[in-house]
Amino acid sequence: MEKSFSESYAKSGVDITAGYKAVELMKKHIARTMTSGVCSDIGGFGGLFELDLTGITRPVLVSGTDGVGTKLKLAFLMDKHDTVGIDCVAMCVNDIICAGAKPLFFLDYIACGKNVPEKIAEIVKGVAEGCVQAGCALIGGETAEMPGFYPVDEYDLAGYSTGVVDKSKIIDKNTIEEGDVIIALASSGVHSNGFSLVRKVFDVENADLKTPLESLNGKSLGETLLTPTKIYVKSVLALMEKVSVKAISHITGGGFYENIPRSIPEGFTAKITKSAVKILPIFKLIAEKGGISERDMFNTFNMGVGMSIVVPASQVQTALDLLKSCGEDAYVVGEITKGDEKIQLI
């Protein structure tokens, strides 16, 4: 590829040699994610992965795809690009784990106005870190330089992941019974949803993003908002080994009201105790600054709960102890009752 150069293409705004340099810079980050199933190197036309089906009788593949959304605008304003990749991975693998599947591999897609190799490598550094946290391999991706479509200083980032679970171990919400308990796993912040509203509330393009604020425990607004999405994969996989997990909800766009009902069967209600929710300071600031109602806050943001898990009442303490040993801030946030509404916040 040393001889690959198009003067005409370069004049149109696309520097293919920058793409080659970006790949070289990102290789050391990708190497951190390699697992035993990887059968290909970066640079091929497709990522190869060999399935290890030890202990799996009927393998079911579970896939997820997502992006980072307008949180990227904060990365542009802060000129910080090494954490949004974690968000991208998290949004995919946290969905996959809701079915009980272990993520196997990840692919990313970066589209930009101008390929600055060092910036692309920083983005991929974050993607690699997310993969390490999730225990999956980064086996491929694409960087597309698209002048005239994206501003030269901006980019979009999306990804895709596939996981595997034995069919007999797929988490089945239909096993839910009255009296089951809902456990909350604390979020790390706003995660990667609701940023169109966040940006409007704070007028981020004109806001002071770097001054530490007492209301945010000494962190700046920019730093707080860019805090990467927490990845729950390893904790949930460990929990499934010891506890009968009946349902999992990844609290993303739509907050409590849209996501928790997705894991609740007909005839049952997830009764959430609002006073039990450990609401993070950033959400209190958003509500106050934007004059946003409590109902809208719980219907837009995770409010400090990144994931909810339904377990039998008899196994609650075991679940809490195990999750805390995995580094999670886990606590009881509600219970399952019979009812026609799938969720009630009381």
Average pLDDT of the segment spanning 184-189: 98
pLDDT digit string, tens, across residues 327-341: 999 999 999 999 999
At residue 4, the pLDDT reads: 63
pLDDT at 158 > cutoff 80: yes
Question: In Å, how far are 38, 41, 263 from 138, measured between CA atoms?
Answer: 9, 10, 29
pLDDT at 9 > cutoff 90: no
Average pLDDT of the segment spanning 171-194: 98
Average pLDDT of the segment spanning 33-48: 90
Average pLDDT of the segment spanning 61-82: 98
pLDDT digit string, tens, across residues 226-245: 999 999 999 999 999 999 99
At residue 17, the pLDDT reads: 86
pLDDT at 1 > cutoff 80: no
Q: Which of 326, 225, 339, 321 is nearest to 272 (CA)?
A: 339
pLDDT at 114 > cutoff 90: yes
User: Residue 11 is encoded by which pair of tokens?
Assistant: 């004049």
At residue 13, the pLDDT reads: 79
pLDDT at 187 > cutoff 70: yes
pLDDT digit string, tens, across residues 306-318: 999 999 999 999 9
At residue 120, the pLDDT reads: 97
At residue 2, the pLDDT reads: 54
pLDDT at 54 > cutoff 70: yes
* Residue 131 pLDDT level (bands cut at 50, 70, 90): very high
Sheet-wide strand order for 305-311: 247-250, 305-311, 181-186, 330-338, 268-272, 343-345
Quickly list H helices, the chain: 7-11, 16-31, 72-78, 84-96, 117-134, 195-202, 221-226, 233-242, 255-259, 281-290, 294-298, 316-325
Q: Name the percent of the chain lying above pLDDT 70.
A: 99
pLDDT at 319 > cutoff 80: yes
Name the DSSP class of 169. G
At residue 12, the pLDDT reads: 74
pLDDT at 38 > cutoff 70: yes
Considering only residues 60 and 6, tell me which one the structure prediction assigns the higher pLDDT.
60
* Residue 96 pLDDT level (bands cut at 50, 70, 90): very high
Are the C-beta atoms of 267 and 173 separated by less than 8 Å?
A: no
Average predicted confidence (pLDDT) for the chain: 96
CB-count exposure of residue 81 (10 Å: 0-12, 13-18, 19+): buried
Please state the φ and ψ torsions of residue 226, each to the nearest 5 degrees.
-85, -5
At residue 41, the pLDDT reads: 83
pLDDT at 6 > cutoff 80: no
At residue 75, the pLDDT reads: 98
